[in-house]
Chains A and B, each alone.
Chain A
Amino acid sequence: MNASPDHLVQMVNDIAGFFDAEPDHDAAIAGIENHLRKFWDPRMRRKLIAHLQGGVAEIAPSARAAIARL
């Protein structure tokens, strides 16, 4: 049994699910970025970034934009 990066994708999509309600798109992206910085261990951020670089993942556009800023 190995930990799947899909779970991180699900987590970041859940985070985007909250911030996407924000009408200001840029504020939503900033909210996601801030959340990932404040609550995620750097290892999780790195793993997610590597996963996104390595292939296709169904990820919310705002989350993708936020991750790009990390």
Chain B
Amino acid sequence: MLSIVEKDFGTPAPRPARLWKNVGMRSGGDVDVAAKLVTLTIDGREISVSEGTSVMRAAALNDINIPKLCATETLDAFGSCRLCLVQIDGVRGYPASCTTPVAPGMKVTTQNAKLAELRLGVMELYISDHPLDCLTCPANGHCELQDMAGAVGLREVRYGYDGDNHVYAKQGGEANPRFVAKDESNPYFTFDPSKCIVCSRCVRACDEQQGTLALTIQGRGFDSKVSASQAEDFLDSECVSCGACVQACPTATLSEKSLISMGQAEHSITTTCAYCGVGCSFRAEMKGEEVVRMVPNKDGHANHGHSCVKGRFAIGYATHTDRIYKPMIRAKITDPWREVSWEEAIGYAASEFKRIQAKYGRDSIGGITSSRCTNEETYLVQKLVRAGFGNNNVDTCARVCHSPTGYGLKQTLGESAGTQNFDSVMQADVIMVIGANPTDGHPVFASQMKRRLREGAKLIVADPRRIDLVRTPHIEAQQHLKLRPGTNVALINSLAHVIVTEGLVKEDFVRERCEIESFDKWRHFVGDALHSPEAMEAVTGVPAAQVRAAARLYATGGNGAIYYGLGVTEHSQGSTMVMGIANLAMATGNIGREGVGVNPLRGQNNVQGSCDMGSFPHEFPGYRHVSDNAARDLLENAWGVNLLNEPGLRIPNMFEAALDGEFLGLYIEGEDIAQSDPNTQHVTAALTAMECIIVQDLFLNESAKFAHVFLPGSSFLEKDGTFTNAERRISPVRKVMKPKSGYADWEITQLLSNAMGYPMHYTHPSEIMDEIAALTPTFTGVSFARLDELGSIQWPCNEQHPEGTPTMHIDEFVRGKGRFMVTEYVPTSEKVNAKFPLILTTGRILSQYNVGAQTRRTENVTWHSEDRLELHPSDAETRGIKDGDWCGIASRAGETVLRASVTERVQPGVVYTTFHFPESGANVITTDNSDWATNCPEYKVTAVEVTRVSQPSEWQKRYREFSERQQELLEARDAADAR
């Protein structure tokens, strides 16, 4: 079922030669070619539309609504239902308006007696094989079939309902062989074949929008029916539960279970998803303050009406019984919690922080901003730390994911952000995916990428694992560079070597746009035979011929676009690799226009935003170093305080300082460092050493088990603000219900700041954005009003780019000339040996999200209820491990136990796991090693040994004991109501 507020124009807008123009860019070179207009007459009205528009769409754009069933705007025209027939002067018969493009001078009639008779006949046939339970049907009130029956004036069905049908379980007292019972296997939606009209919208949505091709029409003629994989249950099929089919269905055949239980929504509010860095726009369809369903916004600039299983369905956590709605405090972490008023909690927190500062010095406390909270909330936390605490001890979870992106891109290109918008991929000819798994991590963008690949773009994947993208329906990577974990820089250098030594450098681009001295140095460096694919083969494990082929393809295959993820950044040389990628893009001229670029796929919904907002200890909002006097002056004047000009502590440094007894108080907003950060035992030792930890979160998460103050946070549904996605796109987040704890997160930070003695008086998040805009050169054109007007804005947005900047570095790089960096390969110190012969690498899965705090509290556990260790059959065999066996994984840092999944997705010598469940202890094994420039942990390379075991690890036993104890302390809490 479509959104209750969107108008469906029936067929997609035509795609011009250049689909998305660079709104706001100075350059005239890359602007949309004006679409040619075609003028025709529909029902006597003269209408002008872009060339390539269908007659149906042209009519709908002018409020002439031609009846339709199989057509919907998000899918290509299909022409099967025969309801949208029209008459066109000079054309024989009755063409379908959805498949007929407009032509100059065309005269179209959409309503006359003959057309009415034809449509009535079609509807009569449809309804003769459809149940008449409209009043009790979930689609009631928003059913396209019902609407069309009304539109054509259906009053009787001459064929009756007793004939051959798919509707009734029994026919003439016998079982009806055509009847298929309702499939309720998927936790979020049902499939009721008795209501199906075989319009194929679901099948086409799965093909065109999602690109999984899990659905098909089985049989022919009256036998035709929708089938998931090979007549399997939806849950057992290849279905990834993105819900595109449910949205496309014009009847109740595919319906959300929430819609079935709650009925139709009565209003709809546009907001932005709080899961990954794609940042899909959604319409929260509401009944009062309850969400009936989330429907991806057709006009969403990042997702164009598509979504994944997390964003559309996995919102149950927001109302989960585990949520805590009342503030709590305790003096020691071995004490039971005590529920208190907001006033008391804030007062206690502030007095503790002041006490610690008085005793141990101004620099002994700090804060962690959340990449899940809004820009406004993040900005406030860093402001509280810098202005209220009086130090720069502020960091964010980007530290552990994309901090090398910020560093590496700033050094080379001049701005700490990706260079494109997502739509740019539709102009790419060669797509290189390095250390990213988009179909799991960034599914909605992956669907767009797959669409482009099905159109013929070439694909290079550099990943130790055979990720799904390597081979998926109608897509096969030209090259899968299956490198050893930890050898990224060796690989990028050998790719660069081929480009430099085979004359594939785009010399004119480099001469005009880059620092030539840096280029010459780099060319000399990578040109050395030491970096040749042949010389590096022993290091990377990738056959030299494959590296050469990939380099040639990227450099000469047209528009080359690089997409990368945490497989690039979470290494001891993460920053080096990011610079290596930028070098490659500059050397081949693949930057500064649509279809190319360097594109980090950001992990969390607002990880870009949290970095933009000045969450790093060395940078103010807008990536201005704390030693930048002009920026500091500006902020000091606005904030009315003196600011430090020296960087503060980063998250791992905070842990070290805590163990040194110098850092004793930490305010953590919406992050779970005890689960997400590496070397868990080191982290928990540091947390235990602190005297006051304030956790602001939805749940008593792993870190909160070490906390002294718990401030109940609000979900994304409970507040106003903005998120910034991986494309630098700022999108509105809108309150659809009151904060369940009484306060939105920005209000809680403000309360704490006021109690600390640094006053803040915002009455609405829009005022915070106004302050950000006033103080940040790349945000000067951003405001809530402007966001409402444009839908979303990609920064920089200022006088030069009033509508934002989809593509960066067009005429020149942000830093002026692009700078090549010499990227020496330095092997990680985390080495395999006889004791730890395997390399463990980590990643994510589609249905779960990061530490799982949200998705574990939804039905998504149906797909993934535990973390498993993937290992290759040969490694499994030598260790006597079979699929499903418990196996112990030991590293230099610690030991844990997981069940084994024996699979050839991983190469021999490499094992892999996810980290969505705290009891898995994936981070008990990961080490303190980190990126040289940013301290981003080396999650992707840990030397381990795996053995078959029969019981949990010592750590897991201790963890279980500690967690049970903390749960008891929560349950034994002295409830405020009870007092």
Q: Is the CB of B646 within 8 A of A41?
A: yes
User: In the bound complex, how far is the Cα of B226 from the Cα of A41, in angstroms?
Assistant: 62
Q: Is the CB of A38 within 8 A of B824?
A: no
A15 within 8 A of B: yes
Q: Which of B617, B618, B647, B656 contacts A7 (CB 8 A)?
A: B656
Q: Is the CB of B657 within 8 A of A38?
A: no
Q: Is the CB of A20 within 8 A of B824?
A: yes
Known: A17-B824, A23-B521. A40 touches B647 (CB 8 A): yes
Known: A2-B660, A3-B657, A3-B659. A15 touches B824 (CB 8 A): no
B928 within 8 A of A: yes
B771 within 8 A of A: no
Q: Is the CB of A21 within 8 A of B525?
A: yes
User: In the bound complex, how far is the Cα of B525 from the Cα of A54, in angstroms?
Assistant: 38
CB contacts under 8 Å to B, within A11-53, are: 11, 14-15, 17-18, 20-23, 35, 37-44, 47
Contacts of B363 in A (CB 8 A): 41, 43
B653 within 8 A of A: yes
CB contacts under 8 Å to A, within B791-846, are: 822-824, 826, 829
Q: Is the CB of B659 within 8 A of A38?
A: no
Q: Which of B392, B627, B822 contacts A38 (CB 8 A)?
A: B627
A1 within 8 A of B: yes
Considering residues A18, A22, A44, which has the most beta carbons from chain B within 10 angstroms of its beta carbon?
A18
B253 within 8 A of A: no
Q: How many residues of A contact B (CB 8 A)?
A: 24
B contact face: mostly helix, strand, loop, or mixed: loop
Q: Which of B647, B685, B826 contacts A39 (CB 8 A)?
A: B647
User: In the bound complex, how far is the Cα of B933 from the Cα of A40, in angstroms?
Assistant: 10
CB distance from A46 to the nearest CB of B (A): 11
For chain B, the bracket of interface size reads 35 or more
B932 within 8 A of A: yes
Q: Is the CB of A14 within 8 A of B647?
A: no
Contacts of A42 in B (CB 8 A): 646
| Interchain Cβ contacts within 8 Å, total number | 71
Q: Is the CB of A21 within 8 A of B657?
A: no
B97 within 8 A of A: no
CB closest chain-A residue, reference B391: A41
B662 within 8 A of A: yes
CB contacts under 8 Å to A, within B563-578, are: 572-573, 575-576
Contacts of B576 in A (CB 8 A): 18
CB closest chain-A residue, reference B932: A14
> Beta-carbon contacts of B658-672 to A below 8 Å, as 1s and 0s?
011010000000000
Contacts of B592 in A (CB 8 A): none
User: In the bound complex, how far is the Cα of B489 from the Cα of A17, in angstroms?
Assistant: 13
Q: Is the CB of B659 within 8 A of A41?
A: no
CB distance from A25 to the nearest CB of B (A): 13
Contacts of B653 in A (CB 8 A): 41, 44
Q: Is the CB of A21 within 8 A of B618?
A: no
Known: A39-B933, A42-B646. A21 touches B822 (CB 8 A): yes
Q: Is the CB of A11 within 8 A of B627?
A: no
Q: Is the CB of A39 within 8 A of B932?
A: no
Can you give 18 A-B contacts (C-beta < 8 A)? A1-B659, A1-B685, A3-B657, A7-B928, A11-B935, A17-B824, A18-B575, A18-B826, A22-B822, A38-B618, A38-B627, A38-B647, A39-B934, A41-B650, A41-B653, A41-B657, A43-B363, A43-B662
A18-B824, A41-B657 known; 4 new pairs, CB 8 Å cut-off, are A18-B575, A18-B576, A21-B525, A37-B627
Closest 10 CB pairs of A and B: A21-B824, A14-B932, A3-B656, A3-B659, A17-B826, A21-B822, A1-B685, A41-B649, A3-B660, A42-B646
